[in-house]
Structure 1
Amino acid sequence: MILFPKTEQFYEEELTKCLQKEQYGEAVSMLTFLLQFPSADQQKTEQWQALLNWLQTMQPETVFPALSSQVDEEEEEEDLLRQMVEEKSTVDAAFVEKLLGMLRAGSMDQQLAALEQLAFVQRGPVAEIRSWLRQGPRHPHLQFKALQALKHMGETGSIDFVKNGNHIVVDIEETPLSSEEFPGQIRDMIRRVEEISEMRQPDFAFFAKQTWQEFLSYAYGTPIYVELLTQEDGVIDIWASALHTALQEQLFGTANREELQDIYGIVDSMEGSWNNAYKVLRRHLDTILLGGR
């Protein structure tokens, strides 16, 4: 089988559209199709395989249909979840207690699912979730989901707990519920990566956005998050270029650090801050891509 250049370009454009529209199932099907062609450029084949592996890690519902709710994709996910929770609460008096049981003793995936559903329970179990969050160390992603659940329930005020080895205090009402609710400076960091990668590697922006969202849930409320919000010169370019470099190394095995630093405008005075940001991001990437999510 031969994949001609114009045909490859067409599929690349369609793949980029799928990722931009978050049509991950179609992206998986297209990547599986493209990987059937042994005549494709080796570097391009490696990029396709890396993207497919990433989708399998970050969007498991796209490759394991049994985990996906069979719903109209055009409907809003949040509205569907709220509707489902309301219906189950009506027909099953023990529904909330079952979710709390999953939260207390389930696997990480079960705990995430429980928090996502508890967020839409009318007069939700605020005290139970507060208590669970403060009990011992939890995975940072679970902790962030718990804060979001409490905010969905209308809870306000501060809460203290241990995260990433630090004792932190956060205001529940300040918790972002979406990427657009994070402070502008943090949003500018990922936009900078998207801007740089748009001309060089259009599909790389997808990897970067997913990774950045995972990282923010890991960092939220910690000293690392405070550092992201500092007004020091170049902080946006420092974190954006460190993310670009670390992620490119993780996905493709190599990255030209000097070239990327030059593109992002990293000068000698920023080198120390850049190295610190890079180490933090590499540690996080090593964790999530080795199954520690």
Structure 2
Amino acid sequence: MPDSMMDNVVLFPKTEKFYEDELTKLLRTEQYQEALEMLTFLLQFPNVDTIKSDQWEALRHWLLTMFPETVFPPSSVEEEDSEEEANLLRQYILDKAASDDGAFVRKLQTMLQEGTLEEQVSALEQLAFIEQLEVSQFVRTWLCERPRHPHLQFKALQTLKQMGEQGLIEFPKHGKTVLVEIEETPLAAEDFPLRIRDMIRRVGDISEISQPDFVYFATQTWQEFLAYAYGTAIYTELLRTEESAVDVWASALHAILQEKLFGTVDREELLDTYGIVDAMTLQWKRAHNVLTAFVKQFSPDPT
């Protein structure tokens, strides 16, 4: 966003706290590229306390100094290294699982049952490497026995797919019972159908000039929303939408995040930018209501 526009944008105290919590999570999980992008975004705000701004600038400088690879796109060599690291992690977990009479697996199962959200995600990511019938059955039972956070439910489906599981699975979600095919579960953002990926790409196309960092937060929110919607009637609707619905969902997401992050949105101008005409108004209001309900339930209000 150009400086002249940023002059009128205020970073509310709760918004600042929200981003700092997210930044801490990124650093704790060594997601340095994402942390650097967030710091670059935060440093654009002109009305932040000087001490806080200096801290962010110092942290940004530290990331660039200690992890210079964060400023360069991954090369094929780095991708090979990443694949090698994944193979090494897989082998380490398999060795641990086979060497201690099941104590390591039981520890992961306990973490999945009793841990925090982050610990449960970590347990699922590690269990995914253990292709044992009793382990996959444990994850199945855990997923199906009662409602879970949508992010955990989606992660569990990915885990089962990575274990080689197939077929239909039924579990409670949003007060209903959903039925999905394990092997159809996307393992990465690029595995979702093209039209669903186009929705977030459209946000990037619109915001890349005036708000180049906006798409980072939109992408994260969209991925969380897809996990929230997966297996439900909402996701089925996304799969069946016509091409015009790309602009409908993209603009609804843009409007909600614009208001959430900056406290205001010129809805009429935004809809005009996305080409939302009168005939699309009802569809747009429905998408906006669905996304609003998701944000209120699973994303803290930073304002």
Q: Same fold (TM over 0.5)?
A: yes
The verdict on how the C-alpha distance between 1:25 and 1:86 changes in structure 2, with shifts beyond 3 A counting, is farther
Deviates more, 1:193-202 or 1:232-241: 232-241
Deviates more, 1:225-234 or 1:241-250: 225-234
- CA apart distance, 1:132: 1.0
- For 1:103, which of 112, 120, 125 is the aligned residue? 112
- What TM-score do the two structures reach when normalised by structure 2? 0.72
Within 2, Cα distance between the matches of 1:80 and 1:190? 33
C-alpha contact (below 8 Å) 2:195/2:243 kept by paired residues: no
1:156 aligns to 2:160 (yes or no): no
- For 2:46, which of 37, 41, 45 is the aligned residue? 41
AA aligned to 1:138 is R
- CA apart distance, 1:164: 1.2
Within 2, Cα distance between the matches of 1:202 and 1:106? 37
- CA apart distance, 1:110: 1.8
1:119 aligns to 2:124 (yes or no): no
- CA apart distance, 1:150: 0.2
Deviates more, 1:265-274 or 1:281-290: 281-290
- For 1:139, which of 149, 173, 192 is the aligned residue? 149
The verdict on how the C-alpha distance between 1:75 and 1:232 changes in structure 2, with shifts beyond 3 A counting, is closer
Q: Counterpart in 2 of 1:260?
A: 270
- CA apart distance, 1:255: 0.9
- CA apart distance, 1:200: 1.4
1:75 aligns to 2:67 (yes or no): no
Count the aligned residue pairs: 245
Unaligned stretches of 5+ residues in structure 2: 4-30, 57-62, 64-77
- CA apart distance, 1:278: 0.9
- CA apart distance, 1:122: 3.4
- CA apart distance, 1:162: 1.2
1:175-186 → structure 2 map (5 Å cutoff): 175-186=185-196
Within 1, Cα distance between the matches of 2:89 and 2:289? 37
Within 2, Cα distance between the matches of 1:180 and 1:133? 24
Within 1, Cα distance between the matches of 2:32 and 2:204? 16
Q: Counterpart in 2 of 1:171?
A: 181
AA aligned to 1:288 is F
Unaligned stretches of 5+ residues in structure 1: 6-20, 54-61, 63-71
AA aligned to 1:135 is E
The verdict on how the C-alpha distance between 1:25 and 1:270 changes in structure 2, with shifts beyond 3 A counting, is closer
Deviates more, 1:74-83 or 1:90-99: 74-83
Q: Counterpart in 1 of 2:256?
A: 246
- What TM-score do the two structures reach when normalised by structure 1? 0.75
Within 2, Cα distance between the matches of 1:260 and 1:87? 54
C-alpha contact (below 8 Å) 2:199/2:250 kept by paired residues: yes
Q: Deviations over 1:47-101 (max 9, x none)?
A: xx9xx99xxxxxxxx9xxxxxxxxx996357446424423432444311111111
The verdict on how the C-alpha distance between 1:90 and 1:31 changes in structure 2, with shifts beyond 3 A counting, is farther
1:193 aligns to 2:200 (yes or no): no
Structure of higher RCO (CA pairs closer than 8 Å, 6+ residues apart): 2
